[in-house]
Amino acid sequence: MVITNTNIDQVITLLKNAMKDLPDPSVTLVGKRWKNPFLVLISCILSLRTKDETTLPASERLFALVDTPQGMLNLKRKQIEKTIYPVGFYRTKAKTIHGICRDILEKFGGRVPDDLDTLLTMKGVGRKTANLVLTEGFKKPAICVDTHVHRISNRLGYVKTKSPEETEMSLREKLPKKYWREYNALLVTWGQNICKPISPFCSRCPIEKFCSRVGVMKSR
């Protein structure tokens, strides 16, 4: 059996039920806790190439100090670096955060833009980050594709793509819009806990019968 738009409702429902006791990704938690697009954007920057168990505490430490673009600019870069350490590339991210805050204040009237094209004009903001800000910060329909979403969507056989951007475009055409917002959080959580890159836990997967197991050489 393969995943189609005839059975995608069943697949999504099975995944949601299976993940009731699993933790949300860090940026999703930030969106739920603070309900602030700016803080979602900053946590997205911190999350790049960094594990969730490092991202969330770093976000909490930083937001305990300041939670506005002006407040962030008032911090010295060294202070941001010290606060967010040990996230990956913490020095570069501190510089990026200052640049983003300057753009927000000088170009966008102090507010985070709520459309994809404008978000992408900020240095350090790629499609993954911009789409995640839209879904978790503004609760708008968008498709955020990270390594988990790209890998699992192809492993399932739902798409056949070679890059995250190709996966995003394919999903925009194929995935029902009502699932766009939650698709990233679902597959990130599933990828972190069950559908691992190497030797996934297929025996514990409720959607195993729908999966084409593309590229799976070994499973548990």
> What's the pLDDT tens digit per position in 123-157?
999 999 999 999 999 999 999 999 999 999 999 99
- Asked if residue 59 and residue 86 are part of one domain, the reply reads yes
Measure the CA–CA gap between 42 and 18, rounded to whole angstroms.
30
Give the domain-ending residue among 122, 137, 152.
Answer: 137
Asked if residue 45 and residue 125 are part of one domain, the reply reads yes
- Number of domains into which the chain is organized: 2
Closest CA to 56 of 43, 65, 66: 43
Tens-place pLDDT, residues 65-123: 999 999 999 999 999 999 999 999 999 999 999 999 999 999 999 999 999 999 999 99
- Hey, CA dihedral for 4, 202, 51, 165, is it positive or negative? negative
Does 2 reside within a domain? Answer: no
> What pLDDT does 1 receive?
80
- Which alpha helices (H) appear in 108-135, and where do they start and end? 116-119, 127-132
The residue among 115, 137, 159 that closes a domain is: 137
Return the biggest CA–CA distance within the chain. 56
SS3 112: coil
Measured between alpha carbons, how far is 167 from 214 in angstroms, rounded to an integer? Answer: 15
Residue 161, pLDDT above cutoff 90:
yes
Residues 118, 50 share a domain: yes
Q: For residue 84, tell me if it sits in a domain.
A: yes
1 in any annotated domain: no
DSSP state of 23: P
135: Cα within 13 Å, side-chain hemisphere: 26
- What residues have CB less than 8 Å from 62, skipping those under 6 apart? 42, 46, 80, 83, 84
Alpha-carbon gap, residue 37 to 42, rounded angstroms: 9
**What pLDDT is recorded for position 215?**
95
Same domain, 42 and 111: yes
Contact (Cβ atoms closer than 8 angstroms) between residue 2 and residue 153? no
Of 137, 164, 199, the one marking the end of a domain is 137
Q: What angle do CA 122, 127, 132 make, to 5 degrees?
A: 95
pLDDT of res. 4: 86
In a domain? residue 86: yes
Range of the domain at 117: 35-137
